[in-house]
């Protein structure tokens, strides 16, 4: 007997249910097996990765320790000569920066020189301008800086932009210092057609001098100094800029720059009242402005490390009001000193020509004259023999 259609309809789902259940169970077992396999494999891989990463960290640690042991500190504390000490500061105006010179080493032939010193000579005949003349002989990357250094010395004798003549003869003995691109002029001689005489500047540091200076052959310092009672700074390395000095793309410099170590005492040039302190600090650094009604001027002191007075305070002539520094827009520690008229014209005065400032020239003491002349003779010998000479004393 054949089963009824109803029974047939019931048998079909029973078989189908059995078949699906079997497949589901089989799939479940396979899934468990695969999961177990991946867990084991990944566990081993993670162990390998951790071991490898740990090895890298240990290797990196060792390399860092080795680098630390091999590194040496760099001593940059030397107060070596540099050219532009700052950008021009005109009141509280904002100015753009001038790109610095790229400095590279240059050398000149010399058969011998004092042991341990890199002293060189340069002989030039002026053509067109001082800068053009120097740049014909030196690398362009540093000739502008060297020419500016020479101009600072010549400025005490003549107007470098107006009084130099084609054919003038310039001889220089200078020392290259340990720091690349830095140097110290030891002797400069200049045969001037305009003045019809030979000018000379010889570096010398006497026993009683904290800092050396440049003197003519008679022992008279070429740079002027302000009388002690009136000077804003008594101890300084050198004067690196004067009022009116040309700055590329700008108006003339508005003050006198005294290169000095940070912390040097700064004094009020005249008695007066503090008008303001530390304005436009980004450019001027810490600074002071004093009012002097009696003299008809105001004075400014810029790039300070410490200000010791307050607005409205009255100060006496010679009173310590601050300490020199290297704050604001500046390339080396120095004091920027300004003397301006109190009227609307705001005339900038050269302190060495100002009627209320008394200036003088320092002289070599008589007891040191022979030693000074020996140094000058040594410079002469180096120049004449292109590097052959006696040991030179230079501070």
Q: 33 or 38: which carries more pLDDT confidence? A: 33
Residue 217: its pLDDT value, please? 96
Amino acid 81: pLDDT: 41
| CATH 3.90.180.10 is right for the domain spanning 100-223+361-395 | no
- Other beta carbons within 10 angstroms of residue 394's beta carbon come to 17
Model confidence band, residue 367 (pLDDT cutoffs 50, 70, 90):
very high
Q: Which of 82-91, 98-107, 205-214 comes out lowest in average pLDDT?
A: 98-107
More confident residue, 86 or 226: 226
In this structure, what token pair is assigned to residue 323? 């300490």
Which pLDDT belongs to residue 35? 64
Q: What is the percent of the chain with per-residue pLDDT over 90, rounded to a whole number?
A: 52
Local confidence band at 117 (pLDDT 50, 70, 90 cut-offs): confident
pLDDT (average), residues 316-336 = 95
d(CA 211, CA 221): 13
The Cα–Cα gap between 183 and 143 comes to 12
CATH topology of domain 225-360: Glucose Permease (Domain IIA) (2.70.70)
Position 9 scores a pLDDT of 39
Q: 280, exposed or middle or buried, with CB in 10 Å at 0-12, 13-18, 19+?
A: middle
Question: Has residue 121 got a pLDDT over 50?
Answer: yes
Where, residue-wise, is CATH 2.70.70.10 in the chain? 225-360
Q: Indicate whether 153 pLDDT > 70.
A: yes
Residues of the chain with CATH 3.10.450.350: 100-223+361-395
The pLDDT assigned to 177 comes to 80
Average pLDDT over residues 277-299: 96
pLDDT over 70 at 347, yes or no: yes
Query: Which residue is associated with the tokens 């292109």?
Result: 386
Q: DSSP per residue over 305-322, as a string?
A: EEE---TT-EE-TT-EEE
Q: What is the Cα Rg of the chain in Å?
A: 38
Rounded to an integer, the average pLDDT of 136-163 is 89
Rounded average pLDDT over 271-298:
96
Average pLDDT, the chain: 76
Q: For the segment 243-262, what is each residue's pLDDT rounded down to a tens digit?
A: 876 554 445 678 899 999 99
Q: What does the DSSP assignment read for 294-360?
A: TTTEEEEEEEEEEE---TT-EE-TT-EEEEEB--SSBSSSEEEEEEEESSTT-PBPPTTT-TT--EE
259-273: per-residue pLDDT in tens? 999 999 999 999 999
Q: pTM value?
A: 0.67
How large is the average pLDDT for residues 151-174? 93
pLDDT number for residue 61 = 37
């Amino acid at each position: 007997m054949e089963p009824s259609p109803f029974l047939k309809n019931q048998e079909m789902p029973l078989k189908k249910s059995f078949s699906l259940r079997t497949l589901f169970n089989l799939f479940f077992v396979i899934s468990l097996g695969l999961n177990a396999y991946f867990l084991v494999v990944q566990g081993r891989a993670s162990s390998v990765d951790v071991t490898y990463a740990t090895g890298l960290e240990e290797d990196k640690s060792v390399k860092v320790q080795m680098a630390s042991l091999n590194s040496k500190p760099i001593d940059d504390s030397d107060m070596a000569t540099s050219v532009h000490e700052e950008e021009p500061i005109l009141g509280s105006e904002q100015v753009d920066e001038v790109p610095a010179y790229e400095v590279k080493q240059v050398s000149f032939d010399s058969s011998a020189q004092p042991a341990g010193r890199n002293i060189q000579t340069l002989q030039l005949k002026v053509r067109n301008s001082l800068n053009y003349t120097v740049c014909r002989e030196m690398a362009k990357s540093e000739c502008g800086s060297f020419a500016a250094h020479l101009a600072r010395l010549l400025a005490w004798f003549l107007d470098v932009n107006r009084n130099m003549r084609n054919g003038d003869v310039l001889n220089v003995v200078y020392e290259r210092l340990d720091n690349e691109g830095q140097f110290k002029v030891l002797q400069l001689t200049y045969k001037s057609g305009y003045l019809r005489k030979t000018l000379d500047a010889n570096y010398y540091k006497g026993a009683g001098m904290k800092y050396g200076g440049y003197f003519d052959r008679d022992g008279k310092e070429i740079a002027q100094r302000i009388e002690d009672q009136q000077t804003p700074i008594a101890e300084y390395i050198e004067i690196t800029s004067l009022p009116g000095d040309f700055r590329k793309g700008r108006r003339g410099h508005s003050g006198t720059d005294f290169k000095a170590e940070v912390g040097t005492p700064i004094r009020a040039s005249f008695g007066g009242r503090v008008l303001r302190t530390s304005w436009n600090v980004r450019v001027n650094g810490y600074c002071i402005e004093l009012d002097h009604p009696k003299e008809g001027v105001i004075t400014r002191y810029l790039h300070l490390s410490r200000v010791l007075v307050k607005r409205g305070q009255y100060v006496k002539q010679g009173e310590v009001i601050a300490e020199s520094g290297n704050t604001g827009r500046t390339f080396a520690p120095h004091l920027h000193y300004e003397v301006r008229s109190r009227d609307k014209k705001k005339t900038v005065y050269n302190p060495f020509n100002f009627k209320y400032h008394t200036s003088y020239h320092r002289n070599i003491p008589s007891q040191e004259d022979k030693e000074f002349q020996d140094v000058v003779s040594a410079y002469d010998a180096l120049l004449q023999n292109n590097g052959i000479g006696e040991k030179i004393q230079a501070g």
